[in-house]
Amino acid sequence: MKVSLNNKVPVQLILGVQWGDEGKGKIVDLLGDKADVVARYQGGHNAGHTVKFDGNTFVLHLIPTGILRPDTDCVIGNGVVVHPGALLEEVAGLEKQGIKVDGRLFISRYAHLILATHPLLDRAAEASCDAKKKIGTTGRGIGPTYSDKIARRGFRAQDLLDENILRSKAEQCLEIQNRQLRDLFKQPECSLDSLLEPLLKFRDRFADSIIDATGFLQSAIDSGKQLLIEGAQGAMLDVDFGTYPFVTSSNTTSGGVSTGLGISLRNVDRIIGVVKAYTTRVGNGPFPTELTDEMGEMLRAAGGEFGATTGRPRRCGWFDAVVVRYAAQINDLDTLALTKMDVLDDLDEIRICTHYKYRGRTFSDWTSEIARWEDVEPVYETVPGWKQSLVDIRKYEDLPVAARNYVKRLEELAGVPVGLISVGPSRDATIIL
């Protein structure tokens, strides 16, 4: 059943359903116009969420996109990993662009901090393995920080608040991490001073912003406030359900909300999956519909497909309905926000992957019979393009027939209705159905 996104519900979750960079930032900004609170539940500054309005461009990495709405509070949940220096830098950048951050940004006391050693370990691990095994991480220290969290030796935001704990924890972490740097990777060690310096700077600025985020969010929900939950990365980068091991180190899917914020998923009234009208991936790993030819280059150029965090060119390919159906099921999506339709404007024909071929049989769904994403071969259907610019269209009825048919076909294949179509990067270039 179609429920318009104009019809506001108190708690909405917005997440990516492909390999990230679907346009989550734009959608969170757009639907967050009346949000009281926007919260991130996982990931770190590996994310890059771009928002454009009134001729301005903002790229958020760690701070929830709601910071761009002056009356919205922002929460970095316990499931996020926070790099102190990156957060300070991001705040400074926003302030330079005229955004007031003080008093509006809160960090869960249980959020783990990325220490100076973590990016070193991340990059050393990548450098030490052969090409086939490299994940192509953002090099931000995400994996090693989550590893330390799970190994129960991580450094949490609240550890900053007690001088004795801060120092003893820092020394304890440093000892283990230096051992890894030295013995495992033959890299120079990190000094205690360089570990402590960013932590102390961070504490000086944010000590009062470290809170019981779960309590904060639960009381916002209980008092009927509008809460938007912002995902980072996408379903196929989920540490459990993605193209493991070529994934990030967090649960990007809806289940991550409960553990990453400490609120029940029962509180979420609507789950919105952001999906590109084609597919991209940055970093290594399987990508069944990847185009390594001129068409892939054309999508990259037309879509400006270069990473918002690392500037790396994104790999491009056709829309993969098997991936989106799978993500719809894992996340229990209510609706899709379909972005970057305008990127396909000039194409004579567009291909959609409807099935996979695997060992001589075709599969419309990701099943246990297929072990590895690497081994599937996409089966396509071809539909006509619309050969017309969509960028100024604001009503569904005004879309060319071929564009409407494309949307309908994607809805049908995904098994989820499209509630929003984005036809350009700016806030207003949007059709709400």
Enumerate the active-site residues: 21, 49
- For the chain, how many helices (H) and strands (E)? 11, 20
> How far apart are CB 422 and ligand IMO at their closest, in Å?
15
Structure tokens at 209: 């912003």
> How far apart are CB 105 and ligand IMO at their closest, in Å?
18
Structure tokens at 221: 């929900």
Residue 342's binding partner out of ligand GDP, ligand IMO, Mg ion, none, with CB under 5 to 8 Å set by partner kind: ligand GDP
21 counts as binding Mg ion under rule CB under 5 A: yes
Q: Fill in the amino acid letter for 17.
A: V
Residue 339's binding partner out of ligand GDP, ligand IMO, Mg ion, none, with CB under 5 to 8 Å set by partner kind: ligand GDP
Q: Interface residues for ligand GDP in 270-309 (CB under 6 A)? A: 304, 308
77 counts as binding ligand GDP under rule CB under 6 A: no
- What residue spans of 154-232 are helical by DSSP H? 163-179, 192-206, 213-222
48 counts as binding ligand GDP under rule CB under 6 A: yes
Angstrom distance (rounded) from CA 300 to CA 314: 7
> How far apart are CB 357 and ligand IMO at their closest, in Å?
25
> How far apart are CB 403 and ligand GDP at their closest, in Å?
13
Q: What is the largest CA-CA distance in the chain?
A: 67
142 counts as binding ligand IMO under rule CB under 6 A: yes
339 counts as binding ligand GDP under rule CB under 6 A: yes
Angstrom distance (rounded) from CA 16 to CA 331: 10
> How far apart are CB 118 and ligand IMO at their closest, in Å?
11
137 counts as binding ligand IMO under rule CB under 6 A: yes
48 counts as binding ligand IMO under rule CB under 6 A: yes
- What residue spans of 114-153 are helical by DSSP H? 117-128, 142-150
156 counts as binding ligand GDP under rule CB under 6 A: no
Write the interaction track for ligand IMO spanning residues 304-333; mark x where CB under 6 A is met and - where it is not.
----x-------------------------
Alpha-carbon torsion (344, 345, 351, 353), positive or negative? positive
Angstrom distance (rounded) from CA 386 to CA 264: 43
Among 62, 91, 342, 366, binds ligand GDP (CB under 6 A): 342
> How far apart are CB 135 and ligand IMO at their closest, in Å?
5
Give the HSE-up count for residue 225: Cα atoms under 13 Å, Cβ half-sphere: 20
Note the Cα 360 to chain centre separation in Å.
Answer: 35
Site stretch for ligand GDP (CB under 6 A), options 73-81, 207-215, 375-383, 418-426: 418-426
Contacts of 414 (CB under 8 A, 6+ apart): 275, 321, 324, 325, 328, 336
Q: Which is nearer to ligand GDP, 52 or 281 (CB)?
A: 52
Q: Which is nearer to ligand GDP, 290 or 365 (CB)?
A: 290
Q: Which is nearer to ligand IMO, 59 or 211 (CB)?
A: 59
25 counts as binding ligand GDP under rule CB under 6 A: yes
Write the interaction track for ligand GDP spanning residues 302-331; mark x where CB under 6 A is met and - where it is not.
--x---x-----------------------
β-sheet bridge partners, residue 68: none
Angstrom distance (rounded) from CA 186 to CA 199: 26
3-state secondary structure of 372: coil
Note the Cα 154 to chain centre separation in Å.
Answer: 23
Write the interaction track for ligand IMO spanning residues 267-296; mark x where CB under 6 A is met and - where it is not.
---------------xx-------------
Assess contact for 139 and 119: CB atoms under 8 A.
yes
Q: What length does the chain have?
A: 433
22 counts as binding ligand GDP under rule CB under 6 A: yes
Note the Cα 162 to chain centre separation in Å.
Answer: 32
Q: Which is nearer to ligand GDP, 28 or 261 (CB)?
A: 28
Strands 105-108 and 210-211: parallel
10 counts as binding Mg ion under rule CB under 5 A: no
Angstrom distance (rounded) from CA 198 to CA 88: 9
For ligand GDP, the binding residues (CB under 6 A) are 16, 20-26, 48-50, 52, 304, 308, 339-340, 342-343, 422-425
For ligand IMO, the binding residues (CB under 6 A) are 16, 19-21, 46-49, 135-138, 140, 142-143, 232-234, 237, 248-249, 282-283, 308
